[in-house]
Amino acid sequence: MAGLVIALSLLLGGCVPFIGGREQGRQLAAAAQDLVAIVEVWEDEIDWLGLRDPAGVQTEETKVLDDYVLSALMRTEVAVGLVDTTGKRWRGEELVGLKQGGSAALALGGRLEADAPWMYVRMFLVERASGKLVASRTARILARDVRQELASRQLGTSAINGPIEVELHLIAKREEGGVAQVVELTEGAQLQQGDQMQLRFKLSRDAEVHAFLCRSDGALETLFDEQFVYSDIVQYAPGENDWITFNELDQVYTLYFLAGPQLLAENAGPFYEQFATLVRDGQINRFAGLEQLDTALIEFLQRPEPLEVLRGDEDIFLGQPETIVYDDGNTLSSQAEILTGTPLLVRALSFSVP
């Protein structure tokens, strides 16, 4: 036959198509696994003809998803014929390219259709001889996951080094008469003694996260220990109903929020020592010299590619207002900063308690 028949027993020792990192790869793999359920009730050999866009053309996005579907097919007990349809276009109203080669009685293919922010993979199982539709199945995936997977491949790296997007809430509150009120927290803002701060965040892909405060007297406070965090799950620093309280007067605080692969790790201690040295030597004095601290942080992150520290409030896109309800009955409104970095995100914000 024109295709190469693959049995599960042979696959155990063979090659598996490229599959990305645990982040968006996990979502794409789950969608592919759901799609191939269409063949699990069939005992006949099936030709896999791949995916195309609505115009019948193979695109970079369809190639990415081809790999995931093929990997999922390999995990079934169905004999699959791999038909080489590279560069061939599906024409007319065909659901799959039935004339693209192969000899199995059943052919499996699909179309990828975009409807932002989603992409829909519509899979069709068809009788080759008659063109009769035997079964169909549809899965919905985030276009963002496909784009990130594609970007990571184009960079020649795994998904772990692709872009990361973070929804970051920087929440400051002040208690007045037993009622909590939101305090604007921006670059250079002035808080009052007793004001409190909390972070809430969600990642677009699995990554390491670390958040801490550097104080102008050389003290340091950790908000979120460096640890692995799963995507699409809201995280809190220091806790869902916990807060950092600013009790020290005449201080400038710098918040650093880091997300991505391979953060400070064993370099955390040396970076903290460098911070204390800069303060002791007078190179950091309140707001003056903070660019040296940013530079030191980038150096200790030890990345081969250039990194940018996101400071200030310009060019920071904000999400929709959200109302957050706390266990004590207080409600606060907040808009998340929508931040992106490749492969690391470094957000910095400095403010004072005069």
Does the domain made of 4-154 have the CATH classification 3.40.1350?
A: no
Average model confidence (pLDDT) for the chain? 85
pLDDT at 61 > cutoff 80: yes
Compute the radius of gyration of the chain from its Cα atoms: 26
Q: Are strands 244-245 and 196-203 parallel, antiparallel or unpaired?
A: antiparallel
Average pLDDT over residues 304-331: 90
Domains of the chain, by residue range, sit at 4-154, 163-353
Per-residue confidence (pLDDT) for residue 149, from 0 to 100 = 77
**What would the two tokens of residue 236 be?**
């809190």
Q: Which residues, other chains included, contact 48 with Cβ-Cβ below 8 Å and sequence gap of 6+? A: 3, 69, 70, 73, 80, 81, 82, 83, 108, 109
Please tell me the distance from the alpha carbon of residue 270 to that of residue 162, in angstroms, as a whole number. Answer: 27
Residue 330 has pLDDT above 80, yes or no: yes
How far is residue 176's CA from residue 47's CA, in Å, rounded to a whole number?
69
In the chain, pLDDT over 70 holds for what percent of residues? 85
Average pLDDT over residues 30-55: 87
Which of 54-63, 153-162, 342-351 is least confident?
A: 153-162
Kindly state the tokens that stand for 6. 């693959």
Range among 39-48, 62-71, 235-244 with highest mean pLDDT value: 235-244
pLDDT score at 96: 65
Q: What is the pLDDT of residue 234?
A: 93
Task: Supply the pLDDT for residue 143.
Answer: 86
Q: Select the more confidently predicted residue: 7 or 125.
A: 125
Cα distance between the two ends of the chain: 79
